[in-house]
Amino acid sequence: MSTPAYAGGTFLTAHDLGFGGSENADPISPTRFWQVTEKTMNRLVRPATTGEPSPDLAVSWYPNDSADVWTFNLREGVKFHDGTDFDAADVVELLNRIKDPDLDSPVASVLAIMEKIEAVDSLTVKITLSASHVDFPLLMMDYRIRMTPSGSSDTIGQTGIGTGPFMLKTLDPEGTTILVANPDYWEGAPGLDEIKIIAIPDSQARVQALLSGQIDMLRHISAQEKVLFENNPKFKIQHVATGDWLAAIVFRTDTAPFDDVRVRKALRIATDREAMVKLLLGEGGGVVACDTPVWSGDQYRAEIDCPQDIDGAKRLLAEAGYPNGIEIDVVTSDLRALWVNMVQVYQQQVAAAGITVNLVKAPADGYWSDVWMKEPAVTTSWGQRPADQVFNEAFKSTASWNESFLNNSAFDEKLKMAGQEMDVNKRTALYGDLQNILFEEGGTFIPFHINQVVVTSARVTGLPAMFDDAVQYHNVSVGD
């Protein structure tokens, strides 16, 4: 393929090899290579910079009076990388494939409410839900729900064919994956020749790669790492408020001693979250989260107070049969820059409550497939998601990625009610109840949401200061 005349150079970035080389270009696969699919494929609905739903391959949408049937009007004249037209048949097949139990897509729990998907005509799709859901377009913003050609289910993992600004040229998860510009992209030709995505499992190695010019961008820079790039004309620094909880600890609620709600709560309330933010992120580097996954910019965020409570933690442990304290292992890795430091701070903070934490390091390569959702207590990270989506994906008892193995019937019932509730005040109250359940009974310690620090090389232009999911890479370019 010849280099397009409009393009301008190669953008170099990295990925963490979290699935140990099993990453593929199927957007709804359990091991999806999202650093590829976000650049090669489009969604029907994408988040605006405010987090609200905005048009992508769907130009408009509307519900019936009871919000249990939604109609999406599709963009006309869009083509896939192989030259075929994008139409309603592609949407119907992709959404139905998400529901296929053989695929075991993590998106299935997000869209479990879908009952019937049908093409009204070539540019109109009607989705019938099993119950009313007034915020259904928020679910469609999921970063994995990206359109692929109908009939490609057996090959999409390798071809990566989409409608996006870049096309997959070389898929090499353990080495360098190469994307090339799509000159016919419907939003306009990209400002780059190509993007190279380099496998670098270790977080410190990624920092060194940026410092030495081997990559052009690194998101989620820690406060300690940020000082390496400040006042250096070779780099640009952005600050982005997000709902990312990139340093959390998950305790399996189906495994002793974490199957006791008193132990779980003690392990969470023995911490000083304000101090943790300052130590790990620096002043203003994040917002305290009282174990809620809902970010401060979400309309459904609940106000919960969670000061450090050493006496309360000791009392709960004694009631649970641990009057002399408790010893636990937390498995972590260098996969994320904050993880090891966060566990070390956690160790120090909870010691006063008689909690001894053993830090166990696992390899970064393959962490998500070999450690996560397997060991009793592990570190985890999640990107920003709307309230209903993250509850359905990470905490609903039947969700594939219910990493704490929470099985709370009251939570599940309230979640169902919240999605169906037409009155915004009642709906907000239900989502608040869900967050309070997680604080009182959950197995996930979420100390803060991050104000993300993004560092790029000075040659990068056109990269907006916004959360990962809203970046439009066709606007990015690089200079000499």
Phi, psi of 443 (to 5 degrees): -115, 15
Query: 225-258 pLDDT, tens per residue?
Result: 889 999 999 999 998 888 899 899 999 999 999 9
Residue 2: pLDDT band (50, 70, 90) is very low
Q: Which two tokens stand for residue 208?
A: 């060194």
Taking a C-beta distance cutoff of 8 angstroms, is the pair 471, 234 a contact?
no
pLDDT over 60 (residue 3)? no
Structure tokens at 337: 């820059």
Q: Rounded mean pLDDT of 390-394?
A: 93
For the chain, give the secondary structure using H, E and C.
Answer: CCCCCCCCCEEEEEECCCCCCCCECCCCCCCECHHHHHHHCCECEEECCCCCEEECCEEEEEECCCCCEEEEEECCCCECCCCCECCHHHHHHHHHHHCCCCCCCHHHCCCCCEEEEEEEECCEEEEEECCCCCCHHHHCCCCCCECCCCCCCCCHHHHCCCCCCEEEEECCCCCEEEEEECCCCCCCCCCCCEEEEEECCCHHHHHHHHHCCCCCEECCCCHHHHCCCCCCCCEEEEEEECCCEEEEEEECCCCCCCCCHHHHHHHHHCCCHHHHHHHHHCCCCEEECCCCCCCCCCCCCCCCCCCCCHHHHHHHHHHCCCCCCEEEEEEECCCCCCHHHHHHHHHHHHHHHCEEEEEEECCCCCHHHHCCCCCCEEEEEECCCCHHHHHHHHCCCCCCCCCCCCCCHHHHHHHHHHHHCCCHHHHHHHHHHHHHHHHHHCCEECCEEEEEEEEEECCEECCCCCCHHHCCHHHCEECC
- Taking only the tens place, the pLDDT of each residue in 103-151 is 888 889 889 899 999 999 999 999 999 999 999 999 999 999 999 999 9
pLDDT band at residue 282 under the 50/70/90 scheme: confident
Averaged pLDDT for residues 88-95: 98
Question: Can you give the pLDDT at residue 82?
Answer: 97
In the predicted model, is pLDDT for residue 469 greater than 50? yes
For 307-361, what is each residue's pLDDT tens digit?
999 999 999 999 999 999 999 999 999 998 899 999 999 999 999 999 999 999 9
Report, as an integer, the average pLDDT of 7-35.
92
State residue 360's pLDDT score.
98
Domains, the chain, ranges and CATH?
41-153 (3.90.76.10), 245-451 (3.10.105.10)
Render pLDDT for 167-183 as a digit per residue (tens, 0 to 9): 999 999 999 999 999 99
For residue 448, name the pLDDT band (cuts at 50, 70, 90): very high
For 284-315, the pLDDT digits (tens) are 889 999 999 999 888 999 999 999 999 999 99
